[in-house]
Amino acid sequence: MAEPRFVYHPDYYCDIGEHVFRTEKYGLLARRLVETGVVPPDGFLRPEPATRGQLELVHTAAYVSDLLAARHTQRTMRSEMPIGPRIISAFVLAAGGTILACRTALRERTIAMNLGGGFHHAFPDWAEGFCYINDAAVGVRAALQDGPAERAMVVDCDLHQGNGTARIFRDDPRVFTFSIHQENLYPIKERSDLDVGLQDFCSGRAYCDRLQETVPPLLDEHKPQLIVYVAGADPYEGDLLGNLLLSMEDMRRRDDIVLGACARRGVPAAVVLAGGYSPDVKDTVDLHYGTACSVVEHARGYC
């Protein structure tokens, strides 16, 4: 039986002012996990910031230079976020957390959850959509560079298509990209290896049925040795930025479908938080907490 692992650092929080993206959710989630006994107070794995070399496994040297200097340029301005040294250091640290989650999942053959990350709109040469660093892509490329894994899959269940991730891996046969998302919504779509675009007001039952029909067969066909699960909280029916109709219970079923499929096949999985824009940040934290509970349940199903 494997043990679930959780990666977190208090410096994931950064002050971005009044913004729909609430970075305090990271600390609130960590506190909830400790208070409910899911993680001991000293039980979090503590990441180091991603190195420049690791960032350049995905991003261009010119973009990384702008980013690390916190320069407001054509490459960084599309983030729709403020920029400054403290903000950028939080993104670099979150990327380090996703690398650590991927490495831990592979080494221990378990599920490791980074209480951050999931910034899937960042492209190789520019920021986009609240995302400065595509940490999921950085984590995958770092894990493949480490070995022994040779094949990976990104399962993206955020409300929005993982357009940056699709572009990054479009010519990389080692990585299969899957995204299920609301179709008539930001962003401008790239082509994943498989996209499931859902119509507005899709029900939770229809969403989960499509996921169940799709993800387990993909794992059987492509036999990835690592999964990165982008577990956005924004398909929730109360989210400010979308129109899907998934209840709290539907969201937990979504997590169980993905993580259960990984556990039954013994595929190591790294989980990242991605989006979540409920009017009350407590609802977003509740949704991420549900994902963490699914991590615990299914990690212990690994042999």
Give tens-digit pLDDT for 24-40: 999 999 999 999 999 99
Structural Rg of the chain based on CA atoms:
17
How much is the pLDDT for 215? 97
> How far is the C-alpha of 299 from the C-alpha of 2, rounded, in Å?
6
What gap in Å lies between CA 91 and CA 283, rounded to an integer? Answer: 23
What is the predicted pLDDT for the residue at 10? 97
**What is the pTM assigned to this prediction?**
0.96
What's the chain's length in residues?
A: 303
- Distance in angstroms (rounded) separating the CA atoms of residues 79 and 245: 27
Q: Which residues contact 285 (CB under 8 A, 6 or more apart)?
A: 25, 28, 29, 32
- Cβ neighbours of residue 172 closer than 8 Å, sequence gap 6 or more: none
User: Right CATH number for 5-299 from 3.40.800.20, 3.30.499.10, 3.40.50.300, 3.40.50.720?
Assistant: 3.40.800.20
Q: What is the rounded distance in angstroms from the CA atom of residue 27 to the CA atom of residue 160? A: 24
Residue 284 reports pLDDT greater than 80: yes
Q: Give the model's pLDDT for residue 256.
A: 98
Handedness of CA 89, 227, 254, 244 (dihedral sign): positive
| Tokens representing residue 23 in the block | 């970075």
Q: Which residue has the tokens 């982008």?
A: 230
CB neighbour list of residue 162: distance below 8 Å, 6 or more residues apart: 120, 121, 136, 154, 156, 177, 179, 181, 192, 230
Please report, for the chain, the start and end positions of each structural domain, with discontinuous segments joined by +. Answer: 5-299
Above 70 in pLDDT, residue 94?
yes
Q: For residue 286, what are the contacts with CB-CB under 8 A and spacing of at least 6?
A: 248
Report the SS3 class of residue 41. coil
Looking at residue 303, what is its pLDDT?
Answer: 63
Helix 248-265 and helix 281-299: axis angle, to 10°?
30
Determine the straight-line distance between the first and last CA of the chain, rounded to whole angstroms. 5
Q: How confident is the model at residue 176 (pLDDT cuts 50, 70, 90)?
A: very high
